[in-house]
Amino acid sequence: MNHDAYDDNYIRSILNSVKSIAMVGASPVNVRPSYFAFKYLAQRGYDMIPVNPGHVGKTLMGKPFVASLADIGRPIDMIDIFRNSSHIMPVVEEALKLSPLPKVIWMQLGARDDAAAEKAEAAGLKVVMNRCPKIEYGRLSSEISWMGVNSRTLSAKRAPIPTQGMRLSLNRTSFGGGQTAASDRAAKNKTETS
Amino acid sequence: MTDRLPGFSTLAVHAGAQPDPTTGARATPIYQTTSFVFNDADHAASLFGLQAFGNIYTRIGNPTNAVLEERVAALEGGTAGLAVASGHAAQLVVLQQLMKPGDEVIAARKLYGGSINQFTHAFKAFGWNVAWADPDEVSTFEQAVTPHTKAIFIESIANPAGSITDIEAIAAVARKAGVPLIVDNTLASPYLIKPIDHGADIVVHSATKFLGGHGNSLGGIIVDAGTFDWSKDNKYPMLSEPRPEYHGIRIQETFGNFAFAIACRVLGLRDLGPALSPFNAFMILTGIETLPLRMQKHCDNAKAVAEFLSGHPAVSAVNYAGLPSDRYNNLQRKYAPKGAGAVFTFSLKGGYDAGVNLVSNLKLFSHLANVGDTRSLVIHPASTTHSQLDDAAKVKSGAAPDVVRLSIGIEDKEDLIADLDQALRA
Ligand SMILES: Cc1ncc(COP(=O)(O)O)c(C=O)c1O
């Protein structure tokens, strides 16, 4: 699996298939990126579970925080890890002890741990690194186009009017990633030199 | 679902646009409104806090403008775009994210005269210093780097002389200095040159010119290449540090590879205010749909006119990179193989007076201070766009007193040549 640049179909198939997402490192502070992503994904109809031992007893968008993945107590489709690269491995190891196993490990924008990715893939999980599911969902649905972002997708179909809790179609024609090759290349060079 | 890269012409027509959600209108509607209603208080708070995608107020964003932004970002191969009121506004907003008083930008000496003024006077008054370098001598950029350098600014094809800049060589200097390379791609348009493919981190446009293409609307665009790491040191606090205007959000951490475009929108456009009218955005978008057709015709016509002029007895020199004898011809073949653009200069044996006479004798060419119109245009830079420079600076920026600048339109080339011929004989 090439983790420097993902095919849109790979990201699309993940976002179209998962229903429940446990967010490790979710923050109740409303200026943190994890809060942004949690709120957006909840609004797009995902079943969100905030995981953060520091906030047990509180809720995020009405969902109670749990201390660890093991405390969720029901099957989870995807683990979205909002932690620095150096804190990824223990979370992946914990995820691999769950039964049934989650289907996807997603590491946030800026987070990458190739060894942890390999471990998860060896167990049959799909892995995404250094991406934000909110940005990817917004891009593939073109909702992010409101901000002038290059969604790298085209469609001649009428755009949906997003409402609360509505899932959007992600089935637009993709450019295949080629158009932001420059940005993907820069990200790759950064991982190689750091 | 295909996964192939659409061609340039397909993107020029489609990127960023889709039938309107409410009406199904196929052309992009002109959302001529100042503001947008919120669903409820939480929605409003999410939008103001940058947590949700959506519209608040047209100074910050507008759905018509957003289509233009995504379209140009797609054509340039960037991650995001921002539309602003003019090319000059784009330059202002870009540098505001990068510069503090006492900081320096290294700029190519060959720039549009208005940009030279903007950097020399307006920016100077903000305490932003400019160090001029010679785009034909890359070492001068290297020598100009200091600990205060925050950016390098060049034009891909330089106004007025149509010279071609060695973008890759200057990008290497920028990379080594750890600063972003900003390329003004106005005269080339992404049809001829895609600066991001050659190492640019930020692209700016005066959309007033070839993008809009019809001489009817001012506009500017900023494109974020998504290539620069703003957080690797503390040089760019607008992007790397918690922003007090947004309760402590860090822009790069939150927005990743389109953070620069977001900073330009929410810290630049929001606070400085040079918003693009949605009507102008619509006009520019319509222009872009035919950009590949027009640009090729502009180039083909320009080459024919340059060839005609270089054989004319009244002409002492033609500066057109598309001519095999031109000093920029090698760079043109490398960077702009489809054509050398439509803006170039030539000198008359009769000097300043012959230039003034030529301009007044032309019947089809319009005498005005613009480039990149469907119509062919002529100007005498020394007495107009570059008049505020002293003689030495005029020569250095390619606008010596005997020089006439043309911007070749998309009329029939035979008519343009006939008009120049009669005016040169008159
Ligand atoms: C190369 C270049 N950059 C920038 C500008 C400034 O653009 P605007 O007039 O849209 O502010 C111009 C205008 O002539 C130009 O030719």
B278 pLDDT tier (thresholds 50, 70, 90): very high
Interval A52-60 mean pLDDT: 96
CATH number at residue B120: 3.40.640.10
Residues B53 and B186 in one domain: yes
Residue nearest to ligand 1 atom 16, measured at CA? B112
Q: Is B371 in the same domain as B329?
A: yes
Question: What is the position in ligand 1's atom list of the atom closest to the CA of B220?
Answer: 10
CB proximity under 8 Å: B 196-215 to A: 196-197
Q: By the CB < 8 Å criterion, does A2 face chain B?
A: no
Does residue B124 form part of some domain?
yes
Determine, yes or no, domain membership for B2.
no
* CA distance linking residue B61 with residue B276, whole number of Å: 9
B45 found inside a domain: yes
**Same domain for B275 and B138?**
yes
Atom in ligand 1 nearest the alpha carbon of residue B219: 10
Question: What would the mean pLDDT of A79-102 be, rounded to a whole number?
Answer: 97
Tell whether B142 and B189 lie within a shared domain. Answer: yes
| Fold type of domain A8-193 | Rossmann fold (3.40.50)
Is the bond into A100 cis (omega within 30 degrees of 0)? yes
By C-alpha distance, the chain B residue nearest A191 is B229
How is chain A split into domains, by residue range? 8-193
CA of B415 from ligand 1 middle (Å) equals 28
Please indicate, yes or no, whether residues B88 and B159 belong to a single structural domain of this protein.
yes
Of B237, B271, B287, which residue constitutes the final position of a domain?
Answer: B287
* Domain membership flag for residue B1: no
Q: Hey, is the C-beta of B19 within 8 angstroms of any chain A C-beta?
A: yes
Give contacts of A138 with chain B, Cβ < 8 Å.
53
Burial label for A100, CB within 10 Å (0-12, 13-18, 19+), is exposed
How does DSSP classify residue A149? Answer: B
B140 lies in a domain?
A: yes
Q: CB distance A152–B74 less than 8 Å?
A: yes
pLDDT digits (tens, 9 = 90+) for A156-171: 998 777 777 778 888 8
Please give the distance of CA B31 from its chain centroid, rounded to a whole number: 25
Other CB atoms within 10 Å distance of the CB of residue A66: 20
Across the interface, whether the CB atoms of A180 and B14 are under 8 A apart is answered no
B395 pLDDT tier (thresholds 50, 70, 90): confident
CB contacts, 8 Å: B225 with chain A: 182-183, 186
Q: What is the pLDDT of residues B100-111, one digit of tens each?
A: 999 999 999 999
For helices A88-95 and A114-122, give the axis angle rounded to 10 degrees: 10
Q: Taking residues B315-320, report their average pLDDT.
A: 96
The verdict on B199 and B323 lying in the same domain is no
Shared domain check, B318 and B270: no
Number of domains in chain B: 2
In a domain, B3, yes or no: no
Same domain, B83 and B224: yes
Q: B222 and B96: one domain?
A: yes
Same domain, B178 and B310: no
- Cross-chain residue pair A180–B77, CB shorter than 8 Å: yes
**Domain stops at, among B257, B287, B317:** B287
Of the three residues B235, B266, B287, the one that is the final residue of a domain is B287
* Interatomic CA distance for residues B16 and B223, integer angstroms: 14
B271 and B300 assigned to the same domain: no
The pLDDT score that the predictor gives to residue A146 is 87
- DSSP, res A99: S
- Annotate A34-71 with DSSP letters as a single string: HHHHHHHHHHTT-EEEEE-GGGBTBEETTEEPBSSGGG
Task: Mark yes or no for CB contact A158/B18 under 8 Å.
Answer: yes
The one-letter amino acid at B284: I
* pLDDT cut 70: percent of chain A above it: 94
ipTM of the shown complex: 0.91
- CATH number of B391's domain: 3.90.1150.10
Task: Indicate the pTM of the whole model.
Answer: 0.94
B233 and B381 assigned to the same domain: no
Between the two ends of chain B, the Cα-to-Cα distance in Å is 62
- Which contacts of A82-86 are long-range, i.e. CB under 8 A and separated by 24 or more positions? A82/A23, A82/A24, A82/A25, A82/A26, A82/A27, A82/A33, A82/A34, A82/A37, A82/A108, A82/A111, A83/A24, A83/A25, A83/A108, A83/A111, A84/A110, A84/A111, A85/A110, A85/A111, A85/A112, A85/A113, A86/A113
Q: What is the pLDDT of residues A131-165, one digit of tens each?
A: 999 999 999 998 888 899 999 999 999 877 777 77
Instruction: Name the band, by pLDDT with cuts 50, 70 and 90, for residue A68.
Output: very high
Could you tell me the two tokens for B198? 């050659």
Q: Identify which of B282, B318, B314, B283 has the alpha carbon closest to the alpha carbon of residue B408.
A: B318
Q: What does the pLDDT look like over B282-305, one tens digit per residue?
A: 999 999 999 999 999 999 999 999
State the residue range of the domain holding B236.
Answer: 9-287
For residue A180, the model assigns a pLDDT of: 55
